[in-house]
């Protein structure tokens, strides 16, 4: 099975619960389990190839211009993490089916779970760091949904927000680090980055990239000082906690460090940052776990500790330490998932997770006792279970350090001691001791559906401990080979003789047992001692940061658009000036063109019209006229510069805009009041002048220099006919080379028109409707609302305008014109009908709804683009050919005509829908009944009222 398909299957499975939940909870669970099982089988199919040292790859180039390709790979490390994600995910699906109550929307739960599973699978199978970043952020979003699944609980919502904030912020840092790493290596493909170790570590940007990437990994894997979010994620349902803590979310950071280990490890920066952070996290998490009363809280901090252990091993930078880290990843996943499921069973059956309310469950819940005890002893590192093996390997590597050996030995032994204490406490304070009479519910073992998944994992814990090389050695070798880049053959044994690691382990076990005996007075001292609370610090930080942002927002955007635009403009000018003053534009290489009188006069008129518009903008009708003059001069400038397409478009837009704005201004006061002081207007004038000078200077500097690259216009001119079949380069750019941009633009145009229509619907209801009906115009209207000469002229012009529009549309691919201009021309002709004969007369004679025109335009453009796929071409790639019909000369047809038709329909529909909205407001307003009393013709009076 293709690695790309394996990554896709969980996402496909996420669609099934919503479709099948009405068929029952079992059907939804079975569908998700089937998708997960298929992905797992597809992954395991490649085991023989992986064991031969091969790397299975698949994918396609998505955006090769920026290095973003959907490339996937399966090697030993991907096999290990993929097996954990999909294998334990399969068990979680079964466990969740029996854990969640009937009141919980299990279809939504399975959808979130499969989304999360797909994101994690995508991370471990990716071979492109940019694509990996997409999946990385998707894990943050989907885990937010999972942690906050019980959204009726305040702690659930807060835990989800905290997890998203911390991991999301780390993800932003990691994005920057990955971009730097890709630039150093010269590629964003992980396989090529791993082969560029020397280049990366020799770069002056190595440390920066390393720190930024590690911030992302540390936040995701809850390393100090970012560890605090993980325990608060315990507000999620237990299936989520078991999945996040054992095989997914927190393992993503470990995976990233392991994946990039060949390229980033082996330097002092890597050793000190990674190993010391892991050591502190291991010790701190184990110490806090000793005093936690909540079962899931104890297990959460124990997870933090074990994640620190694995991080520390990866930080050592040796091949043996990497093998130990990989082996402990397997062991931790097995016993920690079993422990969380056990805690969920206890909570489910006894009604509480508080250790102080538990005890004596050994006889009441014997199956749960056996499973929990095996998993907890493995977590403590007691032989002959699998946790003991990887713990011994960790202590052995600590004993063989070259730097800070004594410090690491003491602190690692102390952390192992705390680990033994909280693990034994899990057994003794929950299962041993006398039975209680005050359990919230009468405890008993659950049905098979709840204990079979942790039972299976407990069996694995024993088997891996007794037969490590047979059960897990092959997977450890394959994954360690992928991590180190060198073929590894691990030899894992239960007994290595008497050595320093064994002595440290004995000290830890004995000390943990003693510490458990002293737990009651130590717990009292812990409760009484003042200590910093990470949650309180986080809440205070977020609160103060929110206040700071609110203060800045109130100062910059207090509701005044002028102030917001001024802040944006000043920032842009400042950044541009800074870049210009610190950079080098090079010498002037292009001579000045001669300044001719006609363009100079037009330029002067443009400046005068713009200045007048700024000066007289409060007189709205005059301002609108001046805007039209500016647009007309710009159109003339386009024509002068040999850009007839732009000139046609500009003048058509100006006509349509002026007409629509005239109609809109009819409902507004004729003058704008002074709302700012002279000082504020002076400041705005200064900013505007500074901005104008800045952009003018930039344009002058750009036009006077060559920057060493050929302009893109040469490519367009050369390939317009060859690839697009048109000699009008502008039109070919719009419908082919930049067709996707144009498609987005017409979609946005259609949406804007629909929004105007929706706002009109709202305006014509409620209080605003009553105000419109009572509105009285400021000026008396003429009695002849539809002059006869105008009516006759527009009806004669209409067929001519339609023919001109069709002509402009058909010639657009080879001559100035096209769908956009044609749509505007036809819209102008129809606008004149509305102006001359009235809304009601015109509306009765048009048959097509304007909403449908917009929809048809977008669909026509999309269908044209999709058609390219059937020819093996990218979306919106046009094709053309020559045809011969009887009695006609040979002519050309291009698929771009379909796209241009979509543009035509969308533009026409958007303009007419906007006019429709304004006309409906006019009909509703009080002005519609303002009839000239001198007009005695009842027909004219009725028409005026309409």
Q: Residues 2-61: pLDDT tens digits?
A: 888 999 999 999 998 888 888 888 898 999 999 999 999 999 999 999 998 888 888 787
pLDDT at position 104: 83
Three state DSSP letters for 563-632: HHHHHHHHHHHHHHHHHHHHCCCCCCCCCCCCCCHHHHHHHHHHHHHHHHHHHCCCEHHHHHHHHHHHHH
pLDDT at position 933: 35
- For residue 280, cis peptide bond before it (omega within 30 degrees of 0): no
Backbone angles phi, psi at 73, to 5 degrees: -145, 150
Tell me if 443 sits within 8 A of 430, measured CB to CB.
no
Highest mean pLDDT among 359-363, 557-561, 925-929: 359-363
Q: Is the pLDDT of residue 922 over 80?
A: no
pLDDT at position 780: 60
Backbone angles phi, psi at 63, to 5 degrees: -125, 75
Q: How far is Cα 226 from Cα 163, in angstroms, rounded to an integer? A: 10
Highest mean pLDDT among 666-680, 770-784, 800-814: 800-814
For the ranges 65-74, 130-139, 706-715, the lowest mean pLDDT is seen at 706-715
Which one, of 864, 628, 865, 853, lies nearest residue 749 by Cα? 853
The pTM of the full predicted model, rounded to 2 decimals, is 0.73
Tell me if 100 sits within 8 A of 239, measured CB to CB.
yes
CA distances in angstroms from 457 to 78, 85, 134, 337, 341, listed in the order given: 21, 14, 32, 8, 10
Q: Is the pLDDT of residue 579 over 70?
A: yes
Q: Is the pLDDT of residue 532 over 80?
A: no
Side-chain half-sphere of 435: how many Cα atoms within 13 Å? Answer: 11
| Percentage, residues of the chain above pLDDT 90 | 32
Q: How far is Cα 614 from Cα 606, in angstroms, rounded to an integer? A: 12
Q: What is the DSSP string of 372-441?
A: HHHHHHHHHT-TTSHHHHHHHHHHHHHHT-SSSHHHHHHHHHHHHHHHHHHHHHHHHTTTSS---S--SS
Q: Is the pLDDT of residue 733 over 90?
A: no
Q: Coil, helix or strand for 669?
A: coil
Tell me if 166 sits within 8 A of 143, measured CB to CB.
no
Look up tokens 């040796």; give the residue: 318
Tell me if 921 sits within 8 A of 667, measured CB to CB.
yes
Tell me if 280 sits within 8 A of 226, measured CB to CB.
no
341: confidence class by pLDDT, cuts 50, 70, 90: very high
DSSP alpha helix (H) spans, 100-187: 106-125, 129-147, 154-185
**Stretch 691-715: mean pLDDT:** 83
Which is higher by pLDDT, 508 or 722?
Answer: 508
Highest mean pLDDT among 306-320, 533-547, 635-649, 878-892: 306-320
Please report which helix (H) or strand (E) contains residue 59, including its range: strand 56-63
Q: Residues 832-889: pLDDT tens digits?
A: 888 788 777 777 777 778 888 899 999 998 898 888 888 877 887 888 888 777 877 7
**Stretch 916-920: mean pLDDT:** 77
Tokens of 377: 């002893």
For the ranges 278-287, 675-684, 742-751, the lowest mean pLDDT is seen at 675-684
266: confidence class by pLDDT, cuts 50, 70, 90: confident
Q: Is the pLDDT of residue 637 over 60?
A: yes
Q: Residues 584-594: pLDDT tens digits?
A: 777 888 888 88
Look up tokens 């005996």; give the residue: 517
pLDDT at position 46: 93
Q: Is the pLDDT of residue 120 over 90?
A: yes
Q: How far is Cα 682 from Cα 566, in angstroms, rounded to an integer? A: 12
pLDDT at position 627: 87
610: confidence class by pLDDT, cuts 50, 70, 90: confident
Q: How far is Cα 153 from Cα 479, in angstroms, rounded to an integer? A: 40
Q: How far is Cα 479 from Cα 81, in angstroms, rounded to an integer? A: 9
944: confidence class by pLDDT, cuts 50, 70, 90: very low
**Per-residue b/e over 11-28, b at no fewer than 16 CB within 10 Å?**
bebbebbeebbeeebebb
Q: Is the pLDDT of residue 219 over 60?
A: yes
**Stretch 333-358: mean pLDDT:** 90
Please report which helix (H) or strand (E) contains residue 73, including its range: strand 68-74
Q: How far is Cα 378 from Cα 384, in angstroms, rounded to an integer? A: 8
Mean of per-residue pLDDT scores for the chain: 86
**Stretch 87-99: mean pLDDT:** 92
pLDDT at position 675: 66
**Per-residue b/e over 582-609, b at no fewer than 16 CB within 10 Å?**
eeeeeeeeeeeeeeeeeeeeeeeebeeb
Q: Residues 304-330: pLDDT tens digits?
A: 999 999 999 999 989 899 999 999 999
784: confidence class by pLDDT, cuts 50, 70, 90: low
Q: Please list the residues that pair with 63 across neighbouring strands.
A: 68
Which one, of 746, 755, 748, lies nearest residue 913 by Cα? 755
DSSP 188: -
pLDDT at position 778: 59
Q: Coil, helix or strand for 62?
A: strand
DSSP 65: G
| Nearest 10 degrees: Cα torsion 283, 288, 290, 295 | -120
**Stretch 548-552: mean pLDDT:** 85
pLDDT at position 580: 82
Q: Residues 798-820: pLDDT tens digits?
A: 899 889 999 998 888 888 888 88
Q: Is the pLDDT of residue 946 over 50?
A: no
pLDDT at position 942: 43
456: confidence class by pLDDT, cuts 50, 70, 90: very high
pLDDT at position 783: 58
Look up tokens 């009292």; give the residue: 524
Tokens of 897: 């005509």
Contacts of 361 (CB under 8 A, 6+ apart): 346, 350, 368, 369, 430, 431, 435, 443
Q: How far is Cα 16 from Cα 2, in angstroms, rounded to an integer? A: 21
**Per-residue b/e over 921-939, b at no fewer than 16 CB within 10 Å?**
bbbbbebbeebeeeeeeee
CA distances in angstroms from 146 to 99, 170, 295, 448, 670, listed in the order given: 15, 19, 20, 25, 56
| Percentage, residues of the chain above pLDDT 70 | 95
Q: Please list the residues that pair with 126 across neighbouring strands.
A: 72
340: confidence class by pLDDT, cuts 50, 70, 90: very high
DSSP 189: B
Long-range contacts of 761-766 (CB under 8 A, 24+ apart): 763/921, 764/920, 764/921, 764/924
Q: Tell me the Cα Rg of the chain.
A: 36
pLDDT at position 181: 93
Contacts of 381 (CB under 8 A, 6+ apart): 387, 388, 391, 392, 416, 419, 420, 505, 508, 509
Tell me if 922 sits within 8 A of 840, measured CB to CB.
no
pLDDT at position 925: 64
Q: Is the pLDDT of residue 936 over 60?
A: no
Terminal-residue alpha carbon distance, the chain: 69
Contacts of 888 (CB under 8 A, 6+ apart): none
**Stretch 485-512: mean pLDDT:** 85
Contacts of 426 (CB under 8 A, 6+ apart): 295, 298, 299, 339, 372, 376, 379
Q: Please list the residues that pair with 73 across neighbouring strands.
A: 57
């Amino acid at each position: 099975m293709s690695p790309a398909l394996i990554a896709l299957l969980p996402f496909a499975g996420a669609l099934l619960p919503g479709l099948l939940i009405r068929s029952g909870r079992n059907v939804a669970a079975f569908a998700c389990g089937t998708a997960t099982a298929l992905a797992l089988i597809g992954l395991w199919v490649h085991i023989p190839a992986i064991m031969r040292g091969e790397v299975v790859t698949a994918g396609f180039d998505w955006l090769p211009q920026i290095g973003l390709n959907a490339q996937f790979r399966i090697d030993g490390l991907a096999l290990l993490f993929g097996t954990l994600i999909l294998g334990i995910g399969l068990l979680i699906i079964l466990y969740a089916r029996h854990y969640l109550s009937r009141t919980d929307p299990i279809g939504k739960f399975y959808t979130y779970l499969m989304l999360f599973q797909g994101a994690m699978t995508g991370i471990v199978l990716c071979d492109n760091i940019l694509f990996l970043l997409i999946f990385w952020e998707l894990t943050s979003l989907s885990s937010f949904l999972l942690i906050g699944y019980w959204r009726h609980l305040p702690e659930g919502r807060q835990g989800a927000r905290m997890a998203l904030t911390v991991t999301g912020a780390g993800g932003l840092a990691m994005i920057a680090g990955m971009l730097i790493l890709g630039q150093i290596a010269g590629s964003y493909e992980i396989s090529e980055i791993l082969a560029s170790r020397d280049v990366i570590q020799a770069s002056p940007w190595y440390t920066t990239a390393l720190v930024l990437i590690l911030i992302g990994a540390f936040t995701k894997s809850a390393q100090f000082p970012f560890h605090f979010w993980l325990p608060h994620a315990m507000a999620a349902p237990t299936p989520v906690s078991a999945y996040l803590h054992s095989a997914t979310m927190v393992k993503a950071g470990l995976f990233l460090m392991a994946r990039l280990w060949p390229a980033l490890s082996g330097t002092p920066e890597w050793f000190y940052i990674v190993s010391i952070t892991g050591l502190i996290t291991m010790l701190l998490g184990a110490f806090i776990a000793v005093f936690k009363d909540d079962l899931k809280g104890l297990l959460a901090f124990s997870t933090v500790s074990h994640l620190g252990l694995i991080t520390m091993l990866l930080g050592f930078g040796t091949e043996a330490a990497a093998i130990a880290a990989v082996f402990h990843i397997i062991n931790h996943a097995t016993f920690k998932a079993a422990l969380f499921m056990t805690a969920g069973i206890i909570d489910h059956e006894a009604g509480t997770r508080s250790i102080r309310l538990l005890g004596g469950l050994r006889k009441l819940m014997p199956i749960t006792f056996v499973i929990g005890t095996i998993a907890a002893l493995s977590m403590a590192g007691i032989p002959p279970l699998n946790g003991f093996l990887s713990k011994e390997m960790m202590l052995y590597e600590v004993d063989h350090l070259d730097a800070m050996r004594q410090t690491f030995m003491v602190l690692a032994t102390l952390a192992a001691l705390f680990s033994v204490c909280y693990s034994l406490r899990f057994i003794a304070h929950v299962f041993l001791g006398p039975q209680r009479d005050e359990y919230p519910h009468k405890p008993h073992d659950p049905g098979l559906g709840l204990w079979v998944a942790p039972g299976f994992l407990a069996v694995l814990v024993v088997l891996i401990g007794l037969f490590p090389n047979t059960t897990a050695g092959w997977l450890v070798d394959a994954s360690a080979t992928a991590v180190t880049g060198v073929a590894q053959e691990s030899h894992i044994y239960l007994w290595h003789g008497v050595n320093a690691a064994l002595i440290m382990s004995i000290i830890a076990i004995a000390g943990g047992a003693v510490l458990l005996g002293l737990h009651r007075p130590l717990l009292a001292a812990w409760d009484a001692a003042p200590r910093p609370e990470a949650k309180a610090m986080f809440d205070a930080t977020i609160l103060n940061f929110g206040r700071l942002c609110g203060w800045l927002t109130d100062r910059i955007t207090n509701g005044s658009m002028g102030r917001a635009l001024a802040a944006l403009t000043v920032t842009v000018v400042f950044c541009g000036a800074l870049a210009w003053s610190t950079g080098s534009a090079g010498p002037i290489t292009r001579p000045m063109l001669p300044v001719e009188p006609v363009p100079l006069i037009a330029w002067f008129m443009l400046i005068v019209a713009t200045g007048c518009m700024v000066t007289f903008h409060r007189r709205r009708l005059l301002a609108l006229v001046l805007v039209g003059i500016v647009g007309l001069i710009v159109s003339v400038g386009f024509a002068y510069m040999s850009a007839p397409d732009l000139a046609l478009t500009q003048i058509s837009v100006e006509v349509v805009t002026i007409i629509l704005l005239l109609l809109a201004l009819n409902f507004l006061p004729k003058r704008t009041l002074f709302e700012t002081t002279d000082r504020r207007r002076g400041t705005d004038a200064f900013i505007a002048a500074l901005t104008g000078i800045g952009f003018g200077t930039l344009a002058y500097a750009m036009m006077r220099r060559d920057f060493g690259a050929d302009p893109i216009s040469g490519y367009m001119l050369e390939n317009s006919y060859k690839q697009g079949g048109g000699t009008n380069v502008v039109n070919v750019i719009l419908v082919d080379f930049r067709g996707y941009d144009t498609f987005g633009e017409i979609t946005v145009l259609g949406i804007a028109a629909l929004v105007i229509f929706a706002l009109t619907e709202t305006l014509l209801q409620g209080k605003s409707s009553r105000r419109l009906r009572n509105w009285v115009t400021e000026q008396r209207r003429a009695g002849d609302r539809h002059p006869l000469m105008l009516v006759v002229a527009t009806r004669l012009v209409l067929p001519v305008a339609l023919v001109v529009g069709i002509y402009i549309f058909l010639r657009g691919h080879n001559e100035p014109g096209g769908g956009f201009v044609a749509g505007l021309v036809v819209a102008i002709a129809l606008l004149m009908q509305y102006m001359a004969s009235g809304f009601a007369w015109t509306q009765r004679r048009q048959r097509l709804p304007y909403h449908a025109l917009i929809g048809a335009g977008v669909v026509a453009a999309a269908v044209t683009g999709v058609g390219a796929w059937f020819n093996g071409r990218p979306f919106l790639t046009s094709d053309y050919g020559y045809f011969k019909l009887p009695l006609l000369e040979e002519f050309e047809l291009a698929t771009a005509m379909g796209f241009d038709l979509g543009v035509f329909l969308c533009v026409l529909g958007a303009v007419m829908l906007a006019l429709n909205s304004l006309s409906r407001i006019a009909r509703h307003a009080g002005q519609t009944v303002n009839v000239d009393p001198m007009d005695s013709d009842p027909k004219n009076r009725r028409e005026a009222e309409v």
